Amino acid sequence: MTVIKWNVRAGAYYDSVVLMQLQRGLLGLPGVVDAGVVMATQANRDLLAANNLLPDSIAANPDDLLIVVKANADSSATDAIGKVDELLTRRKSSNSLNSQEDFRPRSLSAAVKQLPEANWVLISVPGRYAAGVAREALELGKHVFLYSDNVSLEDEIALKKAAREKGLLVMGPDCGTAIINGIGLGFANRVRRGAIGVVGASGTGTQAVTSHIHKLGGGISHAIGTGGRDLKSDVGAITAHQALDVLARDPETKIIVLVSKPPSPDIATQLISAAMETDKPVVIYFIGHPPPARKIGNLQFAISLSEAAEISVGELEDSRIEHSRLETRDSKSLREVSSLYLRGLFSGGTLAYETMIGLQAFLSPLYSNSPISDSQILSDPLHSRAHTIIDLGDEFFMVGRLHPMIDNDLRIRRMRQEAADPEVGMLLIDVVLGEGSHPDPAGELVPVIKEIREKRIGELEIVAIVIGTDDDPQNLQSQIEQLKEAGAIIFRSVTEAVEYISLRCSRYTPNTYPPVNLEQLKQPLAAINVGLESFYESLTSQGAQAVHVEWRPPAGGNEKLATLLAKMKN
Amino acid sequence: MTVIKWNVRAGAYYDSVVLMQLQRGLLGLPGVVDAGVVMATQANRDLLAANNLLPDSIAANPDDLLIVVKANADSSATDAIGKVDELLTRRKSSNSLNSQEDFRPRSLSAAVKQLPEANWVLISVPGRYAAGVAREALELGKHVFLYSDNVSLEDEIALKKAAREKGLLVMGPDCGTAIINGIGLGFANRVRRGAIGVVGASGTGTQAVTSHIHKLGGGISHAIGTGGRDLKSDVGAITAHQALDVLARDPETKIIVLVSKPPSPDIATQLISAAMETDKPVVIYFIGHPPPARKIGNLQFAISLSEAAEISVGELEDSRIEHSRLETRDSKSLREVSSLYLRGLFSGGTLAYETMIGLQAFLSPLYSNSPISDSQILSDPLHSRAHTIIDLGDEFFMVGRLHPMIDNDLRIRRMRQEAADPEVGMLLIDVVLGEGSHPDPAGELVPVIKEIREKRIGELEIVAIVIGTDDDPQNLQSQIEQLKEAGAIIFRSVTEAVEYISLRCSRYTPNTYPPVNLEQLKQPLAAINVGLESFYESLTSQGAQAVHVEWRPPAGGNEKLATLLAKMKN
């Protein structure tokens, strides 16, 4: 028979290390079978309940500290609860043995005075206080490594926008990992320095990639974390864009790896366009995002963390770098129709789909009647918007009508309609040969291609994907020749066409914000740590200069009082 | 100044070829500027409107034929409308010049008497009649190639279930392409025969893959279409499973390629498990579905149609086939825990995500608090269901608690909880080393691993993904050794762990339906064609035996009458 006793402490602040140590202390007391020391959120109460540590009668608010002890006798439980204060004090006194304790600053501004060369502030205080500390760090002109989670999206956006205006980085919130100039911040593996730079909207993603690069003999210049939400629409990959830009300017970084948790498609597209503009090979792995191709220009797409590492190290070893740079330069000369829209008019549904998969990485906004995601749905299939891919063989068009592989009437009308739109710079069509199809599709399409190209004021490029074999009844070579003669650019697979179009049509909006200072990034890392003391210890053990702030929440964690004080201050 | 005249013909049936020819006939008449001949569905009316061919005043029902003429004078328009009957008659009389016309059967059963060796019926009548014809074909014991679109999902399911019971295939509806025994059905490219079999839930996907295989020097044994909806949950990939099974049994097929439009994840998983059970290399490309890996056992995953072709031809050329077979056999010996569930307890969010991406191809149902799709959402993160992957570093768990990379308390409690569930056969954990993490995670985890393995009745496998470098402060080798000694199986990346788990845990439900007759498939193709005459012509031009049915809808297309007749018949 076991007995449960508990103690609720209203609105007091304790850091997570203290709570863990208190729990372990309680577990070490005689007769104690189990113990829980948690902030009384619903999730934590549920966890206690799952461990049979939550009697029904406990009333506590989410801000309250809840201490529960399960013992094999009533007296043991009572004794244990009675020792809580002593255990908390013991923790404090063991702390004060630390010789540095007396010299520790109690505020960020005091810490800056102690270590003025610190360019970085590591923040791991509880989420509800983290944004305030980060704001203060930015005001002091410091980059922020924001480990804390449970920071609101609004705060994240505001912090990142404020940082961007000053050329500062906010890595996080919920940023687990970074390696700056050889020093790991937060959770980071010890890896050799080298030529591969990493931008990671993903903590363990960055850890897995950098560890694997190290194992394969490669090394890391810098690994810049962004927090897992950076590539969501609301945030707009502010930090990832800054990080990509500074690594692109860093001469010691020869190859860049971009890793992210599932991104918002439009944001992924913008970041990929920016990556395409760099002069460096960029290896991209966006988890859960189907890769558009293996390689397009200077970009390579991986399908796993370990493959991202393997590609980047292989790229270095093969010394293909010069080669890739050349390709990049070539591809830039293709950018002429970039301010105009693409309209794709397909007879093959799967070809339309595969084209969407490929182009969604590069073109935005992109619409279709065979969309990959809901945001791409073209509400009126008869009228295109921005970049559009139409599957003309969709059931919608097919009642009482022959398939567009047999009858081109519908497509020809639509080609004229699209060509009449001055915002359209490229028409993409598929020409599918073989049994059952029209005996001479080029014969029908060529006059229209010629007609719309003649009528057209300004550039209009026609790209055709021709699917067929040399044995097909239509005569593959003659079909291709006719289309080429009319001025169409011919590809034999969706993949090839996607590569061409993405190099030619993707739009990059140049960054007009102050750049992150590269020279500062390359200085020996010095940092101020606010929150988990273990991160301070990790910094110093790696040889970095660091100061730990003896942080306490405003008004001792009493939020009503803190709000009042903040109001009085303003 | 142009004039528009029109004519509405209520409830009459015309096939799409007749409508196209009528429209072309009208366009050839003097003074006619444009013409539209369509069934008056909303989509078609919208299309007419987009071409300025739809005056407001036209009233017509979706079943009505709508003929619109735009001419440069009132008289020309009137004359053109007046010629509609003549143009329709001209079409008929040109038809009757066809010497075969008199011998053509008017029903499927009559056609079967003319060509009893026909094992296939090609159906391309309008969607609303197609299911009825397909049902008749199945009753006559024939395989069905169902080109028609606009067939309901309910009809598709009913037809495929009925076919499966008889060992017959229903390829479609909306099946564009198949190649059976060297003869193309519907839209198909002429490709050499060879050792690569294709299962395609995708018409142009099959065309692109088979054409590219041909271009690369490979050849096709059979390409079996399924219709684009076959891999949706409601249909359950009935045809794809049958097709995979018959190709697996075909000694002339050495490699199988599986291509599909975006599948339902659970159905994709079942089909992948079935592919894993075959003795052959299988190359898989499910459009828009992130590949779980490059290669797992006998399976290879492509990221484009052309890559699927390249891998399959490369596999043949490298004569790696024997090798793959061996791997397949090896992997089968791994299947021991297949009836039990996997529970993954992660400290790394990205590692959890990547594991989900990999395992969702093999394990179903799969749940998580970091799901890839909504159907995987674990509503209560504290209690696992079926196969479950938990990110213990998720914000939900983190209020007032140290990260699981520092404090293993939460994970240890959960490991005990999962191990107590007799349905669990495997625990998967990540152990992330490096700066900032726990100084000795193995030291904390090993006693628990030993404890739960000892307590456990029945098999419980522990798999650990260890992320770290040989320079990390925890001593990578010693961490691995400790975990191994406790009985854990160690991998150094998610990819490797996913490969092991998928080979060990994926569940295959053996097929208990009558198999499709392989010998029949290998006989020279003979077919009955109902619908588009051009498909009949294509069959005979390829040297296949074929009969074309002079099909007319029941009751001349009058659906009320047809319903009445059907009722009287029963």
Secondary structure, 3-state, A55-87? CCCCCCCCCCEEEEEEECCHHHHHHHHHCHHHH
Pairwise CA distance, residues B122 & B533, whole Å? 11
CATH code for the domain in which residue A82 is found? 3.30.70
Whether A410 and B47 have beta carbons less than 8 Å apart is answered as yes
Angle at A195 between CA A543 and CA A285, to 5 degrees: 105
Assess whether B146 and B196 both reside in one domain.
yes
Assess whether B402 and B366 both reside in one domain.
yes
> Minimal CA–CA distance to B221: which of B258, B250, B190?
B250
Hey, are the CB atoms on B399 and A43 less than 8 Å from each other? yes
Q: Pairing mode, if any, of strands B489-491 and B461-467?
A: parallel
For B59-80, write each residue's pLDDT tens digit: 888 888 999 999 999 999 999 9
Hey, are the CB atoms on B436 and A306 less than 8 Å from each other? no
CATH code for the domain in which residue A113 is found? 3.40.50.261
For A409-420, write each residue's pLDDT tens digit: 999 999 999 999
Angle at A245 between CA A239 and CA A250, to 5 degrees: 125
Given CB atoms, is A46 within the 8 Å cutoff of chain B?
A: yes
Assess whether B298 and B427 both reside in one domain.
no
Assess whether A123 and A81 both reside in one domain.
no
pLDDT of residue A92: 57
Pairwise CA distance, residues A341 & A364, whole Å? 10
Picking from B188, B393, B471, the nearest residue to A190 by CB comes out as B471
Residues of chain A positioned with their CB less than 8 A from the CB of B23 = 409
Using the predicted structure, report yes or no on whether residue A326 has a pLDDT greater than 70: no
Given CB atoms, is A529 within the 8 Å cutoff of chain B?
A: no
Residue A466 tokens read as 């021709």
Picking from B184, B287, B353, the nearest residue to A353 by CB comes out as B287
Q: What is the distance in angstroms between the Cα of B92 and the nearest Cα belonging to chain A? A: 18
Residues of chain A positioned with their CB less than 8 A from the CB of B150 = 395, 398-399
Rg from Cα positions in chain B: 30
Q: pLDDT higher for B91 or B296?
A: B296
Mean pLDDT of chain B: 90
> In terms of CA atoms, which chain B residue is nearest residue A493?
B306
Dihedral, B52, B55, B56, B57 alpha carbons, nearest 10: -170
Hey, are the CB atoms on B357 and A291 less than 8 Å from each other? no
Q: What is the distance in angstroms between the Cα of A407 and the nearest Cα belonging to chain B? A: 8
Q: Is A66 left (phi over 0), alpha (psi -120 to 50) or beta?
A: beta
Angle at B85 between CA B82 and CA B89, to 5 degrees: 145
Hey, are the CB atoms on A204 and B347 less than 8 Å from each other? yes
Give the type of residue at B550.
E
Q: pLDDT higher for B37 or A319?
A: B37
Please count the other Cβ atoms lying within 10 Å of the Cβ belonging to residue B531.
24
3-state secondary structure of B334: coil
> In terms of CA atoms, which chain B residue is nearest residue A290?
B290
Given CB atoms, is B150 within the 8 Å cutoff of chain A?
A: yes
Indicate the DSSP class of residue A493: S
Please count the other Cβ atoms lying within 10 Å of the Cβ belonging to residue B556.
11
Using the predicted structure, report yes or no on whether residue A328 has a pLDDT greater than 70: no
- Give the model's confidence band at A332: pLDDT under 50 very low, under 70 low, under 90 confident, else very high: very low
Assess whether A156 and A90 both reside in one domain.
no
Assess whether B133 and B228 both reside in one domain.
yes
Span B530-556, average pLDDT: 91
Whether A35 and A6 have beta carbons less than 8 Å apart is answered as no
| Cβ within 8 Å of B, A 431-470 | 432-437, 467-469
- Give the model's confidence band at B91: pLDDT under 50 very low, under 70 low, under 90 confident, else very high: low
Domain assignment present for A292: yes
> Minimal CA–CA distance to A68: which of A7, A20, A136?
A7
> In terms of CA atoms, which chain B residue is nearest residue A402?
B16
Q: pLDDT higher for A494 or B335?
A: A494
Span B161-190, average pLDDT: 96
Hey, are the CB atoms on A435 and B294 less than 8 Å from each other? no
pLDDT of residue A319: 54
Using the predicted structure, report yes or no on whether residue B443 has a pLDDT greater than 90: yes
Given CB atoms, is B564 within the 8 Å cutoff of chain A?
A: no
The percentage of residues in chain B with a pLDDT greater than 90, rounded to a whole number, is 74
The percentage of residues in chain A with a pLDDT greater than 90, rounded to a whole number, is 74
Q: What is the distance in angstroms between the Cα of A513 and the nearest Cα belonging to chain B? A: 30
Hey, are the CB atoms on B409 and A23 less than 8 Å from each other? yes
Q: Is the preceding omega at residue A365 within 30 degrees of 0, hence cis?
A: yes
3-state secondary structure of A344: strand
pLDDT of residue A395: 87
Q: How many domains does the structure of chain B reveal?
A: 3
Span A307-314, average pLDDT: 96
Given CB atoms, is A379 within the 8 Å cutoff of chain B?
A: no
Instruction: Report how many Cβ contacts below 8 Å link chain A to chain B.
Output: 346
Whether A563 and A143 have beta carbons less than 8 Å apart is answered as no
The percentage of residues in chain B with a pLDDT greater than 70, rounded to a whole number, is 93
Assess whether B323 and B264 both reside in one domain.
yes
Using the predicted structure, report yes or no on whether residue B16 has a pLDDT greater than 70: yes
Assess whether B252 and B292 both reside in one domain.
yes
Given CB atoms, is A540 within the 8 Å cutoff of chain B?
A: no
Residues of chain B positioned with their CB less than 8 A from the CB of A403 = 176, 187
Q: pLDDT higher for A276 or B566?
A: A276
Secondary structure, 3-state, B284-317? EEECCCCCCCCEECCEEECCCHHHHHHHHHHHHH
Q: How far is CA B481 from CA B63, B437, B466, B478, in A?
A: 75, 19, 11, 5
Domain assignment present for A221: yes
Work out the burial of residue B444: count CB atoms within 10 Å of its CB; fewer than 13 is exposed, 13-18 middle, 19 or more buried.
middle
Rg from Cα positions in chain A: 30
Half-sphere exposure of A421 (CA within 13 A, CB side): 19
Pairwise CA distance, residues A44 & A49, whole Å? 9
| Cβ within 8 Å of A, B 48-67 | 50-51, 62, 65
pLDDT of residue B326: 39
Beta bridge pairs of residue A214: none
* Strands ordered across the beta sheet of B341-346: B366-368, B387-391, B341-346, B424-432, B461-467, B489-491
- Give the model's confidence band at A56: pLDDT under 50 very low, under 70 low, under 90 confident, else very high: confident
Given CB atoms, is A214 within the 8 Å cutoff of chain B?
A: yes
Hey, are the CB atoms on A350 and B492 less than 8 Å from each other? no
| Cβ within 8 Å of A, B 72-111 | none
Domain assignment present for B61: yes
Pairwise CA distance, residues A245 & A275, whole Å? 9
Domain assignment present for A113: yes
Picking from A212, A303, A535, the nearest residue to B493 by CB comes out as A212
Assess whether A182 and A243 both reside in one domain.
yes
Q: What is the distance in angstroms between the Cα of B523 and the nearest Cα belonging to chain A? A: 20
- Residue A432 CA to chain centroid, in angstroms? 38
Domain assignment present for B534: no
Assess whether A302 and A169 both reside in one domain.
yes
For B254-287, write each residue's pLDDT tens digit: 999 999 998 998 899 999 999 999 989 999 999 9
| Cβ within 8 Å of A, B 277-316 | 287-291, 293-294, 301, 303-307
Picking from B44, B189, B434, the nearest residue to A190 by CB comes out as B434
Hey, are the CB atoms on B39 and A372 less than 8 Å from each other? no
Residue B430 sits in which domain range?
A: 341-505
Given CB atoms, is A373 within the 8 Å cutoff of chain B?
A: no
Domain assignment present for B424: yes
Domain assignment present for B569: no
Domain assignment present for B170: yes
Assess whether A44 and A121 both reside in one domain.
no
For B362-399, write each residue's pLDDT tens digit: 998 999 999 988 899 999 999 999 999 999 999 889 88
Residues of chain B positioned with their CB less than 8 A from the CB of A301 = 303
Given CB atoms, is A11 within the 8 Å cutoff of chain B?
A: no
Task: Tell me the angle at which helices B441-455 and B409-419 cross, rounded to the nearest 10 degrees.
Answer: 20
Span A260-286, average pLDDT: 93
Hey, are the CB atoms on A382 and B47 less than 8 Å from each other? yes
> In terms of CA atoms, which chain A residue is nearest residue B124?
A402
Residue ending a domain, choose from B333, B355, B380: B333
Residue ending a domain, choose from A480, A505, A530: A505
Q: What pTM was estimated for this model as a whole?
A: 0.89
Choosing among B289, B401, B417, B491, which should be mutated to test the A contact, i.e. which has the most A CBs within 10 A? B401
- Give the model's confidence band at B42: pLDDT under 50 very low, under 70 low, under 90 confident, else very high: confident
Hey, are the CB atoms on B304 and A383 less than 8 Å from each other? no
DSSP string of A6-74, one letter each residue: EEEETT----HHHHHHHHHHHHTSTTEEEEEEEE--HHHHHHHHHTT---TT----TTSEEEEEEESSH
Residues of chain B positioned with their CB less than 8 A from the CB of A303 = 290-291, 293-294, 301, 303
Picking from B149, B400, B493, the nearest residue to A16 by CB comes out as B400
Residues of chain B positioned with their CB less than 8 A from the CB of A399 = 39, 41, 43-44, 62, 126-127, 150
Give the type of residue at B146.
L
pLDDT of residue B321: 46
Q: What is the distance in angstroms between the Cα of A512 and the nearest Cα belonging to chain B? A: 32
Mean pLDDT of chain A: 90
Given CB atoms, is B475 within the 8 Å cutoff of chain A?
A: no
For A149-165, write each residue's pLDDT tens digit: 999 999 999 999 999 99
Residue ending a domain, choose from A96, A129, A159: A96
- Give the model's confidence band at B96: pLDDT under 50 very low, under 70 low, under 90 confident, else very high: very low
> In terms of CA atoms, which chain A residue is nearest residue B431?
A204
Hey, are the CB atoms on A191 and B473 less than 8 Å from each other? no
> Minimal CA–CA distance to A432: which of B177, B204, B224?
B204
Assess whether B80 and B226 both reside in one domain.
no
